[in-house]
Amino acid sequence: MLDDKLLVWKFNRGNINALSRIYEKYRDDLLRLAAALLNDIGDAEDIVQDVFIGFAQSAGRFQLTGSLKGYLATCVANRARNRNRAAHRRRTDRLNGNGPVRSNLEKPDQRLMDGEELRQLNNAMAQLPYEQREAITLHLYGGMKFREIGVLQKVSIKTTQSRYRCGLDRLRSILNSKVKNETDRRHREAYQEC
């Protein structure tokens, strides 16, 4: 916390090293957060870059009131929600027969390697209701307290905690069933080989 205050103080005075350290410190968590909320690595990268550009533009007048990680995580969550809404609108438009068709090709300058573990987890996350996903990711990746998440989601702390617990239970069952299916498949293959 004190380290962050010092970094922000230096950042406000135009210190590039401070900006670099903030970026290195929180980049991974924010990318994981955005990837889990959007289930799209390319979009996650775009959002994290936009958040950091917005943050960089506030140099000289940025005032830190809470935790820096929480602030950046909130920015990512807000942008992710907006993008999800826009994507939902586009999908609806497509189903109605108007609007552009979006390419499924991978973006050319994608810098995040989509690891198997991350993909599995994000696919499981995508099956959760958005609020539960948000509560889990903001708490675990954004380091935010349930009270802060409650403020962001405009619900009580109890509701946030309940969303978090339910989300984790569901996620566990999804991941476990996947593991079980995978084991069954391997057993079947081994049996066939015999």
**Interface map 82-111 toward other proteins (x if CB under 8 A):** ---------------------------xxx
CB burial string 43-60: b at 16+ within 10 A, e below: bbbbbbeebbeebeeebe
Residue nearer to other proteins on the CB measure, 59 or 157: 59
Region of 66 (left: φ > 0; alpha: ψ -120 to 50; beta: rest) is beta
Write out the two tokens for 153: 């989601």
The residue within the footprint of other proteins, chosen from 64, 126, 155, 168 (CB under 8 A), is 168
Q: Which of residues 124-143 bind other proteins (CB under 8 A)?
A: 136, 140-141
- Type of residue numbered 158: K
Q: Which of residues 44-63 bind other proteins (CB under 8 A)?
A: 45, 49, 52-53, 56-61
Residue 166 lies near other proteins (rule: CB under 8 A)? no
Write out the two tokens for 89: 């609108």
Write out the two tokens for 150: 């409650």
Element (H, E) at 62: none
Q: What is the binding site for other proteins (CB under 8 A)?
A: 13-14, 16, 19-20, 23, 27-28, 31-32, 35, 45, 49, 52-53, 56-61, 109-113, 115, 117-118, 121, 136, 140-141, 165, 168, 171-172, 175
